[in-house]
Every structure is written in structure tokens, then in C-alpha cells.
Structure 1
Amino acid sequence: MSEVAPQNAVESLTGLVLPLADRQLLVPNVALAELIPYRAPQTTENQPDWLLGRLAWRDLQLPMLSFEAASNGQAELGSGARVAVLNALGGRDNVKFIALVLQGIPRSMKIGADVPRADVELAPLELDAVQVGTEVLRIPDLVMLEQKLADAGLI
């Protein structure tokens, strides 16, 4: 007699690999609201170096940021830069989306429940890292990223 997996067991999920300048992030498919071409945001004086400015999107002004700079790295804009509009997860009524600069086009990837953790040092705003083949994919803490925006008085 064959064994049947419980109905609520997750064998795999589909994630998106977001290419950054110095790493790749792995987020659930549902985190991405839209991918748009890069366009220069409106900047203000005295903004943190990780905040690139405000981006007009669908009658909203979204904070656009560099994940690399927000997690103690360097903000970079390459020739293939895109903007990922992410669904906000922090439960704030006034924040539904944030914009994150990418260095290319995200790609879809099936991730099995048995994916091994990567033995790498995590940067701030990273929850974990997994090893998929030769790639290390870092799992961002999107709620803390949103909290960083709130702590800076930007949302």
C-alpha cells in the first residue's frame, strides 16, 4: 500500500529570484505586484543613502530603495536595472507597496521542501539563505525592510 502525503503538506513552492548587484534574493511569487522598467525617482534632501527617492506608480508615491545599501552594502544602478514593486507585508494601512531596484529580470524557480540551507554569513535584513545547485539565494526580511522605512519616517 502506498503512502499518501497529508493534504496540507507542501512539497514545493514557486518563488522568484530577484537579481541584485551583489546577491540574489528569493521571494514568494505573491510578493511581486509588478515589474517595471527603471525610471529615476524623485529625490529629497537628507534622505538615507539606501533610499533612492520616491517613484510615481499607479497614482501612488512609493519609496524606492536599494536592498544592497539597506543591508550595509552599496547602492548600484546597472544598465539592466528594473524596479520590482513589492506588496507590503507589514500590515500598515498607509503602506501597500514598496519599490526595490533590481539588476535584471526576475526568474521563476520551483523550490522543494528539502532545499538545503546555505552556509553563508547573512547580511542585515536577510532571514536565511538556501543553496540551489551552485546558486546561493538569500531570503530577505521584507517586514524588517518596511520597518526600516518606518523608523526613518519615510512611511
Structure 2
Amino acid sequence: MHERRHNPRTSQLTGLLLPLADRNLILPNVAVAELIDYQAGAFDLDTPPWYLGRVTWRERQIPLLSFESACGNRIVIGERARIVVLNALGGLPQLRFMALLVQGIPRSCKLDSQLSYVDVPLCALEQAAVQVGDQVAKVPDLLGLEKLLVEAGLTG
């Protein structure tokens, strides 16, 4: 007789906590392609304030965003700034990756299916807030970020 073991994958996902200047974001591991060192992006002056230019990653030029600024706050580039390269999930041929400015190294965390949601104010690009350990983390609207780039003509 074989004992059927509970498959932990059904109840636990691994997520990444991304430290920003004024909040933490939480993303599933699969959304993140790579963490790279901070580099200043090249950009034109007539772009939106949340757009930090293009950064080079694996011989591609990808758009770099400030999530804080897209939510209406100011951009902070601290001494521990890094860039997280995200897989674009919207299926647009012209936008396969985008980059997000973070303030430090993302931490891996276990997410179970019993995530506790926290009732706090959210900006338009945040879908929810959840309790992760002793911290509140915001769930970003990645498709909303992609839409911002598309509408501003900054994908290609």
C-alpha cells in the first residue's frame, strides 16, 4: 500500500518580496526573469515621470519603470538600488520584458493558499495587499504596468 502524500505545490508557491522605497511588492517567482545591478537608463525628456529609460539586458533594450512614481510618489534611487527584469505577461510581441527599479535584494518567501489580505489603501496599479510574515506587501498589477508602457508608446 502506498501512502498518498499531500503535494505541497498545491498549497505553497514561492514568491519574491521586492523592496521599494515606500512599500514592498510581492510577485510570483515565475514573473521575475533576473535581478541585475542598477544602471541609469537612456531616455528622452518628454517621457512620463515613471519611465526611467531603457536599460541593457542580455543584448536587449528594455524599459525601466519606477513603480512608486507610477503610483504618484517620487522616484528614489538609493545606494542599494537594483533592477528586477520581469517577464511581460500580456502576450504583446513588442513587449517581452520590462524592468522595475527596486531598493535592495528581493527576498524569497513562501506563499500559501491561505494568504491573509490586508485592508489598506491601494494605488491603481496595486491589486491587493497581503500579510507576509511581519510585513504587508502589495500585489502589483503587471498587466497595468504593461498597459502604461503601451499607451505611452514606450515598448519598442
CA drift of 1:5 comes to: 8.8
For structure 2, the residue ranges without an aligned partner over 5 or more in a row are none
Alignment correspondent of 1:20: 20
Give, in whole Å, the separation in 2 of the partners of 1:49 and 1:9.
40
Question: What letter corresponds to residue 122 of structure 2 in structure 1?
Answer: L
Q: CA, structure 1 residues 9+82, in 2 after alignment: closer, same or farther (shift >3 Å)?
A: closer
Q: CA, structure 1 residues 5+70, in 2 after alignment: closer, same or farther (shift >3 Å)?
A: farther
Alignment correspondent of 1:132: 132
Question: What letter corresponds to residue 83 of structure 1 in structure 2?
Answer: I
Q: How does 1:27-38 map to 2 (within 5 A)?
A: 27-38=27-38
User: CA-to-partner distance for each residue in 1:45-89, whole Å, 9 max, x for gaps?
Assistant: 201100011111112111101011012221110000000000001
For structure 1, the residue ranges without an aligned partner over 5 or more in a row are none
CA drift of 1:114 comes to: 1.0
Are the aligned partners of 1:126 and 1:139 in contact in 2 as well (CA < 8 Å)?
Answer: yes
Q: CA, structure 1 residues 71+118, in 2 after alignment: closer, same or farther (shift >3 Å)?
A: same
Q: How does 1:5-154 map to 2 (within 5 A)?
A: 10-154=10-154
3-state SS of paired residue (1:127): strand
User: CA-to-partner distance for each residue in 1:95-126, whole Å, 9 max, x for gaps?
Assistant: 11001000000010001111210110111200
CA drift of 1:8 comes to: 10
3-state SS of paired residue (1:30): helix
Corresponding residue pairs, total: 152
Are the aligned partners of 1:72 and 1:124 in contact in 2 as well (CA < 8 Å)?
Answer: no
Give, in whole Å, the separation in 2 of the partners of 1:16 and 1:91.
22
> Over the residues paired in the alignment, what is the CA RMSD in angstroms?
1.7
Report which stretch shifted further, 97-106 or 54-63: 54-63
Identical counterparts, % of pairs: 49
Give, in whole Å, the separation in 1 of the partners of 2:5 and 2:142.
31
CA drift of 1:9 comes to: 8.0
3-state SS of paired residue (2:150): helix
Report which stretch shifted further, 17-26 or 53-62: 53-62
Question: What letter corresponds to residue 142 of structure 1 in structure 2?
Answer: L
